[in-house]
Amino acid sequence: MRTHGPENFFGSGPPNISSGVTASLKRKEDLHNKEARYFMRAPGKLQVLSMEGPGAAQYPALMNAWLGIYDATLSSGSTAKTTLYQKQLSEIPWINAGRSFHAKLRSRTFSWGKAVMFMTTYVQGIGPGPVNNDMLVLVVQGFTHDGRFAVNGRFEIHHPHLPDSAEDKPSVGKRFMDLDEPGDAAEKWLDAQADESFYPSLQDYEAFLSALEIK
């Protein structure tokens, strides 16, 4: 656990991240690809940030946009998915990479607040490689009931039928979906997999989030 005051992502000037608390979750498995390359791996962190104070002027509009997705119909091809993908709705805190897809999209209410959850892969630029376990991230974007804090998590999550890394070659029993291929093949395939087939499972993460107390 670590607390921090107002921070800057880059450059000088007034802070653009409010005060907050970060809890780090250690990866179950080491990355197969040891280089950062063009993707953003799951940092295994749950961050609780103040929606008030320095750097928070843009937060209320973002919160309303996320809560609008929470209340929307979250089926495939829905307006909510279009908003997430085409507008690349910013998370709190912001991340300098685009999301490739939004699979297993769902909204949940916990004792501390509301959250939107989905799986994605963050990419920055174009590069070869299949959707894989090193790059798959479970995203949680939530807000406390009183609107005072944003809650953001980016966790590792794997599936036994996905290749382990971007360097893996096609093999029997593995599902290869090119990250650069247009369309929503990866999203549809991930959506079709049972929640408990992932590890850690979606139920494990929801139980973890349910156990949190934010006050």
Give tens-digit pLDDT for 96-147.
Answer: 788 888 999 999 999 999 999 999 998 876 666 789 999 999 999 999 999 9
Of 203, 205, 37, give the one whose Cα is nearest residue 134: 37
Q: Which two tokens stand for residue 123?
A: 């990419």
Mean pLDDT value across residues 79-94: 81
Q: CA triplet 109, 111, 116: central angle to 5 degrees?
A: 30
* Beta bridge mates, 116: 107, 141
d(CA 81, CA 209): 23
Residue (of 17, 42, 10, 41) closest to 92 by Cα position:
17
How much is the pTM?
A: 0.81
Q: What is the pLDDT of residue 139?
A: 97
Give me the residue spans of the domains in the chain: 20-28+35-210
| More confident call, 8 vs 192 | 192
75 against 116, higher pLDDT: 116
Question: Cα separation of 2 and 21, whole Å?
Answer: 6
Instruction: Work out whether strand 39-40 and strand 103-109 pair parallel, antiparallel, or are unpaired.
Output: unpaired
How many CB atoms within 10 Å of residue 78? 14
